[in-house]
Structure 1
Amino acid sequence: MWRFLLRALLVLVFALILLALVGPLLIDPNPAKEQSPARIEPSAATYAFVTIPVSGTPGLRAHYRDSTDPRRDDFDPLGQRIFLLLHGFTFNLSTWDPMFPFFAREGRTIAYDQLPYGLSEKPLPAGLKGDNPYAKASAVEQLLALMDALEIPEAVLVGNSAGGTLALEVARSAPDRVSALVLISPWVYATRPTFPAWLVSTPQMKRISLLLGRYLGEGMPLLDLSYADPERISDTRRELAASHSWTPGWDLAWGALMNRSLIDAVTVSESLADITQPTLVIAGARDRIVEMADSARAANALPNAEFAVLPECGHVPHEECPDLVRAVIADWLRHL
């Protein structure tokens, strides 16, 4: 009897190991086809492109919106500040649509799709010679390259979630390029799992990353999670959030991004004391992704920060509660 149970246990263990090794390889590696939006003409959501130098590439195209571009926008800014708006994980520049006119009236304003989001280029690391374009250091390099290409010597960085993390990384590594920071629900203390590089580089983990990228990119589940009340999300907003899917093969790039994210830990919290630029931290009281207490903790750790909490707002208050966000930022700018 015991021998039978032992054999059965060994068979079960072997089956589980086999499933773990073979199962992920059954995930279809072929690129997904582009999706056509039902209500939006893609050209209406397309602004401008600039090719930026990225290590190991001939240059990559970044999609951006510039308030000084007379072909699409006609704003009369009141001030000389430049604002660079940074979206969060799986989002794109359309997240700033409710806030863009406000910033554009304050000064020149640029929002861009970080690679491989939105309509920006979606490179595959396997075809490149240099560093992985989805590494944390590369995202900093790309932002600074964009500033150089658009002749922006210094800017106020406005970042939401992972865009807030990127803003902090740039403020730490290139402080002369950042005049101030506005951080909306910044991803600072929230953790995600990381794994050894050898494991992440296995074919199985790459296929699992591809599956994760498809899951996050097809239904955009983080959009619903980011609102305190998902009923506030319009159909047009949902289509703009999925603009990456208008490009064939987007899922392969998202899979590569997800795969690389399994290596890079979020460590910016270790450097907050060194970031001295004037900073405004904003949190939604009903944020389900980054706890309000984490945002308060980040504001307390930054040497020159103010903190504001917005009631009845979630992780993207600039989308969900733009009037409140505008009021808080306008008051802060008056004293900057």
Structure 2
Amino acid sequence: MVLSVFSVLLLAALIVPLIIPIPPLEDTVPPRELADPDSQFVEIDDLDVHYKEMGEGDPTLMLLHGFAASTFSWREVMEPLAETQRVVAFDRPAFGLTERPMPGAWEGQNPYGADAAADLTIGLMDELGIDQSVLVGNSAGGTVALYTALRYPERVKALVLVDPAIYSGGGSSGWLRSILTSPQGRRLGPLFARAIQGWGYEFGKSAWHDPAKFTDEIWAGFSKPLQAENWDRALWEFTQASRPLGLPERLDELSVPVLVITGDDDRIIPTEQSVRLAGEIPNAELVVIPNCGHVPQEECPQAFLAAVHDFLSNLE
């Protein structure tokens, strides 16, 4: 009897997710229709990539946003940085206004994976005629920046890792990935992804030392890409593609100057992880900004700019 009940429950768990109706997203538009006046788009490996560019001067700074962020996260520092440098911020697939290819629309590597993110960074540099750059990555963008430096060391002049996700995150465990990529997980995934509309605001506030600074206007800027078509499916594809990269074991391979910046009150990537990272990267510099959270470039832009300018001034 117990076995029969278990069998029924197991069968239901396998079948029900496959027949639950998934309501379509409403009021979504192609990403280009959400463009800002200073938005630019370029095709790289059949992908329509959104970026913004300002300034002149070497070395060029490539700005890499974090999870659920976009070029919007650099709004406070991009123009000041562009007073002395060429600065490029861009969106990776699943975020911002870059195209979100659907399953079956690509051949070769998954555009939502880490290898593709590194290749896209270099591909954009190629398209814009940039031989070498300083990669500036916040949170998950720091993960991509470090991975790109290991994958393409000759193209990276230096790294600025801002509250980077090196020890935390990095993808799902094998058993969880099996669930996420199962037919049931793939079908229900977009529904789970849509939950960000509910918890995203509180998550955003937690990135600030002072949550009162996370205004409705800032939330509107971050949530704007949730109007782009297929954003839910793309976010789920990104989640499924995430995997551990083994970066902590490869830190001694870095041969470029590295600056690690962190707020002293980072509740997303604990501050002590950034301190540890700076200690484990050969000759890395560390700046801890007081009264600051997970996004110093937004919450503490002046201190962030001072740290970056000092670091750049000492590059050969």
- Give the TM-score of the pair, scaled to structure 1: 0.84
Tell me how many residue pairs correspond in the alignment.
309
Q: Are residues 320 and 12 of structure 1, via their aligned partners in 2, closer, same or farther at CA, if it must alter by over 3 Å?
A: farther
SS at match of 1:107: coil
> 1:207 is matched with which residue?
187
1:3 aligned partner: none
Looking at structure 2, the residues matched to 212 and 284 of structure 1 have their Cα atoms a distance apart, in angstroms, of 30
In structure 2, the partner of 1:50 is 42
Distance 1:20 1:63, change over 3 A: same
Structure 2 contact 22–191 (Cα < 8 Å) conserved: no
CA contact (8 A) 1:200 1:259 kept: yes
Give me the whole-angstrom Cα distance separating, in 2, the residues matched to 1:217 and 1:136: 25
- Runs of at least 5 residues in structure 1 that lack an aligned partner in the other structure: 1-6, 54-58, 69-76
Report the equivalent of 1:286: 265
Following TM superposition, where does structure 1 have runs of at least 4 consecutive aligned residues deviating by more than 6 angstroms? none
2:216 to 232, 235, 241: 235
Cα deviation per residue 1:117-166 (whole Å; 9 max; x = unaligned)? 11110101322222211121111111111111111111000000110011
- For residues 217-236 of structure 1, the C-alpha deviation after alignment (integer angstroms, 9 at most, x for no partner) is 56524322322222211222
Deviations 1:253-297 (CA, angstroms, capped at 9, x unpaired): 112112222xx1142112111012111101111111111111111
- Selected match of 1:66 from 53, 71, 75: 53
1:304 to 269, 280, 283: 283
Please, which runs of 5 or more residues in structure 2 have no aligned partner?
none
Matched residues in 2 for 1:170 and 1:211: separation? 32
CA distance in 2 between counterparts of 1:217 and 1:275 reads 38
* Partner AA of 1:334 in structure 2: S
Equivalent residue number for residue 20 of structure 1 = 13
1:265-280 → structure 2 map (5 Å cutoff): 265-280=244-259
The sequence identity of aligned pairs, in percent, is: 35
Q: Within 5 Å, which residues of 2 pair with 1:209-224? A: 209-216=189-196, 219-221=199-201, 222-224=203-205
Letter in 2 for 1:269: P
Amino acid at match of 2:14: L
Query: What code does the residue aligned with 1:326 have?
Result: L
Q: Secondary structure at the match of 1:159?
A: strand
Contact kept in structure 1, 2:189 and 2:233, CA below 8 Å: no
* In structure 2, distance between residues paired with 1:130 and 1:218: 34
- 1:21 aligned counterpart, secondary structure: helix
- SS across alignment from 1:127: coil
- In the other structure, the counterpart of 2:84 is 106
